[in-house]
Chain A
Amino acid sequence: MTMYWQRRNETSLHYRDAVVEAFHPHVSESFSGTDKGAKIWRLLSVAVTLFLFCMAALASAAPYTPGGDHVVLARLPQVPATLQAPSPPSDLSAALALARSQIDYASAQGDPRFLGYAEATLAPFSQDMSSPAANLLMARIEQQRHQFARARHRLTRLLEQSPNQGQAWLMLANIDRVQGRLDEARQACQAASRTLPPTTVLLCQASVQAITGQREQAYRTLQALASSPAAPQGKSAQWLNTLSAEIALQQGRLELATEHLRDALQQAPDDPYLRYLQSDLWLASNQAQAVIRDLTNWQDREGALLRLAIAGQRLEHPQAQAWRQDYRAHMAADQDTGRQRHLREHARFLLEVESDPQGALTLARENWQQQRELADLRLLHASAMAADDQATLSQLQAFVDRYQVDDAQLTQPAKGASE
């Protein structure tokens, strides 16, 4: 029996209240890979996929001279030209506005190049702490790149100078929570209360309480807040719904989680974090087909590719092998670039697609040094169980005991029958 927590995971986008701007509407196309009448087509398409893959593999091995001047080599993403301006604005407020749109675009599209462009935009203003706003944005970039230590250092320095930067406390709380320093996270939420509205502070506290033995209380607080006259609006409402969905999941109540997630998605239908969370819920409740329907148009994003590879494998989808190879190629390209690797996703791929528990465990352990969210805990636990590594399991137990982590996914088997 597959454990439920082996099947789900979340994306690595941590910044919950990022502005979501949908530049492209994503149309979900109805498409069935298990159509019974199409068996021959399925076989044929497998052959075609393999052929295309071989061609692609050959093509990537060596440079070539295209057959003629008309051959299209690349389609440029349809980006507002202002987001790729050749020279950054010299005016601070214009630079801040541009950097913010670049970061938002990067998170919405999952395109890390725009984080780099934003960094260039902010460069003249983020060398010292004279502009808190520029440094907050820089910290956001660093956090999205998983450069947690760097982001944390920047925020701490900023807060030494301006302790009333509520936003900085909030981000610090988030980093501490993501990295499993839960006492520090709680203190940072507390410190934010001096300048930020109480609703925001409540959400901040609830995100920590949920994983430190006060799950039910956190959930009640959120629901009370949602139905109160002071119910948050906009991004905060989205955050509230996301948190509620995650706590419901933690309680093992999949349907409730789906409801909360639906509410959140209504506010931000193209938020990658939410879409991936949705996919993970589907994977957990044996609805792999829904994942493929939802993410097929997102194949240019690594997070979507991972979930497509998992869903495709379970359904023996004709595209499964292509998704798997694409993800492998990404993992390979990620090696030796001197960058922070997406260890959580890579470990999950090894565990769920490649059936390589030992490899998954190695990456999940490395990931655990960086990230300690519930998703990381579940992944490390699943890898350690699969690889039968008692030492890791007892290490995890120590963490669970210390913070009184209460998670249905760690203790209960899957709700749905295995596929």
Chain B
Amino acid sequence: MKSLSLLFLLLLAGQAFAHKPSDSYLVINSNAGNALIEGRWDIALRDLQLVLPLDQNGDGTITWGELRRQQRNLDATVLPTLTIEALHGEQRHACALNLTRLQAIDHVDGTYAALHWRGDCQGPPEQLAVGYQFLFDRDPSHHGLLRLEQGDTTLTAVFSNQHRNQLMSTDAGAQWQAFQGFIRQGVHHILIGYDHILFLLTLLFPAVLLWQRGGWQPAPTITGALTQTLAIVTAFTVTHSLTLALATLGIITLPTWLVESAIAITVALGAAANLVPQLFPKRWVMAFVFGLIHGLGFASVLADLGLTDSGIFLPLLGFNLGVELGQVAIVLLFVPAAYLVRETVAYRRVFVPVGSVAIIILAGVWLAERLSGA
């Protein structure tokens, strides 16, 4: 008997829901550039029965049939307590909302009606003005918890008796998304643009070394190696960011073949500098000067992404940030490894000179290709 009652209790526990203040859950899905929005509104049956005669047979329970029979009332009297307006520039359009499907859903304190709805906003919204009037006259402590989902981004807001209107900027979400997209583009570009990587690496090859007595010697301290690396990376960053901005804003325009060929030359020169370092004593100066050319190369990618003049700042910033992130990743991978093997003959006598020669040859091939392709 005891065991039976235990199982019975367990079954009951599955349905026992604790009291909670009255909240509804509203989700709005909006897609950038789309005039149609859709969503779901979960309302507790306990709240719904305050405004609709749900328990028709008065037996103290609400069945699915009783809820279903109220579908027309839900559409006609409950859904209109939710208003959504699409804002686009100076224009303001009311989105017509329709109940598309009724379901049930369990939340922590019991079963809710799940109202699926769709809205036509006539044009893609930049902002949504959402008004919420449900139940406040009956229960002023009622809250509506709003979640606006747009792509990867989610914005939330809470409606209460005092705050019945919320202005949700769908645009901000889209911009942030776009910004992240440009960061990814930046990272992508430096990682697949091996001419930039090679240039950076050729400059960094000897960062862990010192040129003394006609040959490469290991740098005695890590401080020296880090100082060199930092100087090179900073100089390269400053100048390529500068020309990237200037080219993107249309202040400098050079033909692509010229820029690409010049980049090939910088790679060859950077590698040559490893073979005859006495001719190029300050490597950061080289990074600084040649960074100007590489920035122009980055800009051509950004131009290919089809940006308009308005709102160029955020894409530019995002892209540049992405390039720097990629660059930092390369440095973090290469420099510690190089530092560890800097004392080996293989690194100083084989890797640096042979690698540099190989890079010169490769850069020569690129140069030929790029000049002939023009």
Contact = CB atoms under 8 A, between A and B. Distances in A.
B97 to A, nearest CB: 18
B63 A70 contact: yes
B91 interface: no
Interface stretch (B104-112, B246-254, B347-355): B104-112
What 9 A-B pairs have minimum CB-CB distances, sorted nearest first?
A69-B65, A116-B139, A116-B141, A63-B114, A66-B64, A63-B103, A338-B158, A63-B105, A41-B3
B18 A76 contact: no
27 contacts: A31-B2, A41-B7, A52-B14, A63-B42, A63-B105, A63-B116, A69-B63, A71-B63, A73-B45, A73-B61, A75-B61, A76-B55, A112-B22, A113-B21, A113-B22, A113-B139, A116-B22, A120-B137, A120-B139, A296-B9, A301-B19, A302-B20, A330-B18, A332-B108, A333-B20, A333-B23, A333-B108
Contact of A76 (B61, B104, B109): B61
A97 interface: no
A74 B46 contact: yes
Nearest to A141: B141
Given A38-B2, A76-B55, A319-B10, 6 more contacts: A45-B7, A67-B64, A86-B138, A119-B140, A318-B6, A333-B109
Interface stretch (A11-19, A54-62, A361-369): A54-62
Q: Which interface class (under 10, 10 to 19, 20 to 34, 35 or more) fits B?
A: 35 or more
B49 interface: yes
A45 B10 contact: yes
Contacts of B110: 74
Given A63-B40, A73-B111, A337 B145 contact: yes
Contacts of B62: 72-74, 76
Contacts of B107: 60, 333
A55 B14 contact: yes
Contacts of A52: 10-11, 13-14
A316 B107 CA distance: 27
Contacts of A70: 63-65
Which of B5, B20, B68, B104 gathers most chain A CB within 10 Å? B20
Contact of B106 (A29, A59, A68, A113): A59
Contacts of B61: 72-76
Which of B6, B7, B47 gathers most chain A CB within 10 Å? B6
B334 interface: no
Contacts of A109: 19
A71 B64 contact: yes
A28 to B, nearest CB: 13
Interface of A: 29, 31-33, 35, 38, 41, 45, 48-49, 52, 55-56, 59-60, 62-78, 84, 86, 109-113, 115-117, 119-120, 123, 145, 296, 299-302, 305, 318-319, 322, 326, 329-330, 332-333, 336-339
Given A60-B108, A66-B64, A336-B156, A76 B49 contact: yes
Contacts of A145: 141
A33 B2 CA distance: 9
A62 B105 contact: yes
B87 to A, nearest CB: 24
Nearest to B158: A338
Nearest to B160: A338
Interface string B80-114: 00000000000000000000000111111111001
Contacts of B196: none
Contacts of A68: 64-65
A56 B355 CA distance: 62
Contacts of B140: 116, 119-120, 123
A34 to B, nearest CB: 11
A259 B312 CA distance: 76
Given A31-B6, A45-B6, A338-B143, A302 B19 contact: yes
Contact of B18 (A59, A116, A326): A326
| Interface of chain B: mostly helix, strand, loop or mixed | mixed
A38 B61 CA distance: 35
Contacts of B20: 112, 302, 330, 333
Which of A72, A74, A113, A333 gathers most chain B CB within 10 Å? A74
B142 interface: yes
A343 to B, nearest CB: 15
B329 interface: no
B138 A120 contact: yes
Contacts of B255: none
B50 interface: yes
A296 B108 CA distance: 18
A82 B22 CA distance: 19
B16 interface: yes
Interface in B38-60: 40, 42, 45-47, 49-50, 55, 60
A65 B113 CA distance: 10
Which of A72, A111, A302 gathers most chain B CB within 10 Å? A72
Contacts of B18: 299-302, 305, 326, 330
Nearest to B163: A338
B14 A73 contact: no
A35 B10 CA distance: 16
Which of A113, A123, A305 gathers most chain B CB within 10 Å? A113
A48 B141 contact: no
B269 to A, nearest CB: 56
Contacts of B143: 337-339
B96 to A, nearest CB: 23
A309 to B, nearest CB: 12
Contacts of A296: 9
A60 B10 contact: no
Contacts of A64: 103-105
Contacts of A77: 46
Contacts of A322: 10, 13
A116 B19 CA distance: 13
A353 B103 CA distance: 35
Contacts of B49: 76
A117 B108 contact: no
A72 B63 contact: yes
Interface string B1-38: 01101110111011011111111000000000000000
B285 to A, nearest CB: 52
B64 A116 contact: no
Contact of A112 (B10, B11, B16, B21): B21
